[in-house]
Amino acid sequence: MLAGCSGSGGFFGLGGSDGAASGPAAADSTIGAGSVKVALLLPLSAQGAAGTTAQSLRNAAELAISEFSQPDVQILVRDDRGTEAGARNAARAALNDGAELVIGPLFSATTQAAGAVTRPANVPVISFSTDSSAAQPGVYLLSFLPETEVDRVVRFAAQRGRKSFAALVPDNAYGKVVRDAFQRTVAATGGRVVAVETYAADRSNLQQSVQRLAAQAGQFDALFLPDNADTLPSIAQYLRTANVDTGRVKLLGTSLWNVPSVLATPGLQGGWFSAPDSVGFNAFAQRYRAKFGTEPVRIASLTYDAVSLAAALVRTQGSQRFSTAVLTNRAGFAGADGVFRFNANGTNDRALAVLEVRQNNAVVVSAAPRQLQ
């Protein structure tokens, strides 16, 4: 089943429990006037980037309702304040108001707090957290999970003949997740992990870690670099200084690479990274700008997809609309960023593209599948 709904990831780096100027506190509100109630829990009154992001996600929900033909849903927007207590209170209020589905929260801790309220009531949650530990039966993650991105790019590299892998990862929670996923996927493809080096958050030992890898560069033909624009230019420079031949050693990354400053880094040209196909998001962003006169945050498509999915299931699935069997249908759903599906354990599978850094641009070298295996 492909429900006609028309989200994204790295570890969420916003303040609060788990990004721009602070936004005004927003009172609870409703979007739409349908008979089926769906809650949307967001940190609307949180300070800083969390509050600004929450407002963009709320706008995306409003866009989804406005574009869906006669949706029989009413979105109950509730402020969870970005705290565990706030999420519990917002979830209880939503259930008392008759919500049959909860969309959000944004963070791992608030997702777990809301889930503790909703699961005993058999009301499912579709969360925006990118932390897989927040997932469980009945609490589904819609975001782009780091593990999925790692799996896609490593499998593609193996298909292209890469057999010996190394990795340079940050010594933080995100680094641990992607390192573990990297090692699992390399093993699953029959490859070999030659070396894994880490570096501190302040990057004080980054050059030394690169030098240790460079000393083994003749033993691997792919190097995984899962970091962002703050660190990748330095890594590229240290690789050049250490005479690592990036013509022979293919550099691999995640969607954190998909920003102009990274794409313009000379030492990363020719590297591969995984990310959602941008065509669907660009179309969503154009409609968002036309309606609200501002740019959406990159994960705003998550709310758009979740609300559109809820409206589609209400229309097509009757009383079973939010049942486990419907939500975990293996054929999945079509969203703004491609095809996705929820797994029984609360994680998800997503169709991702592989892109190559080429002349300061990202060029698709392996398109995102149109359906999941």
Query: Cβ–Cβ contacts within 10 Å for residue 266, how many?
Result: 12
Backbone angles phi, psi at 36, to 5 degrees: -95, 125
Using CA atoms, how far apart are residues 147 and 131, in angstroms rounded to an integer?
A: 10
Backbone angles phi, psi at 53, to 5 degrees: -60, -45
pLDDT value, residue 373: 83
Using CA atoms, how far apart are residues 28 and 241, in angstroms rounded to an integer?
A: 55
In contact, 104 and 12? CB cutoff 8 Å: no
Using CA atoms, how far apart are residues 88 and 107, in angstroms rounded to an integer?
A: 13
Spell out the per-residue pLDDT of the chain, length 373, in tens.
333 333 333 333 333 333 333 334 346 899 999 999 999 999 999 999 999 999 999 999 999 999 999 999 999 999 999 999 999 999 999 999 999 999 999 999 999 999 999 999 999 999 999 999 999 999 999 999 999 999 999 999 999 999 999 999 999 999 999 999 999 999 999 999 999 999 999 999 999 999 999 999 999 999 999 999 999 999 999 999 999 999 999 999 999 999 999 999 999 999 999 999 889 999 999 999 999 999 999 999 999 999 999 999 999 999 999 999 999 999 999 999 999 999 999 999 999 999 999 999 999 999 999 999 8
Give the residue among 202, 199, 132 at the shortest CA–CA distance from 167: 199
Give me 90's structure tokens.
Answer: 């917002």
DSSP assigned state of 336: T
Distance between alpha carbon 118 and the CA centroid of its chain, in Å? 23
Q: What residues form DSSP beta bridges with 73?
A: 36
Query: How many angstroms separate the first and last alpha carbons of the chain?
Result: 14
Written in H, E and C, the secondary structure of 83-139 is CHHHHHHHHHHHHHCCCCEEECCCCHHHHHHHHHHHHHHCCCEEECCCCHHHCECCE
Place of tokens 């927040």: 134
Backbone angles phi, psi at 181, to 5 degrees: -65, -40
Which three-class secondary structure state does DSSP give residue 279?
A: helix
Place of tokens 């990310």: 275
pLDDT value, residue 27: 66
DSSP assigned state of 151: H
Using CA atoms, how far apart are residues 42 and 103, in angstroms rounded to an integer?
A: 9
Residues whose CB falls within 8 Å of the CB of residue 194, separated by 6 or more in sequence, listed in order: 164, 165, 166, 216, 219, 220
Note the pTM of the prediction, 2 decimals.
Answer: 0.89
What does the buried/exposed string (b/e) look like for 291-311 if buried means 16 or more CB atoms within 10 Å of the residue's CB? ebeeebbbbbbbbbbbbbbbb
DSSP assigned state of 4: B
Q: What residues form DSSP beta bridges with 179?
A: none
Q: How large is the angle between the packed helices 300-317 and 278-292, nearest 10 degrees?
A: 100
Q: 286 to each of 4, 19, 99, 334, how far by Cα in Å?
A: 19, 20, 31, 19
Q: What residues form DSSP beta bridges with 341?
A: 349
Using CA atoms, how far apart are residues 329 and 320, in angstroms rounded to an integer?
A: 12
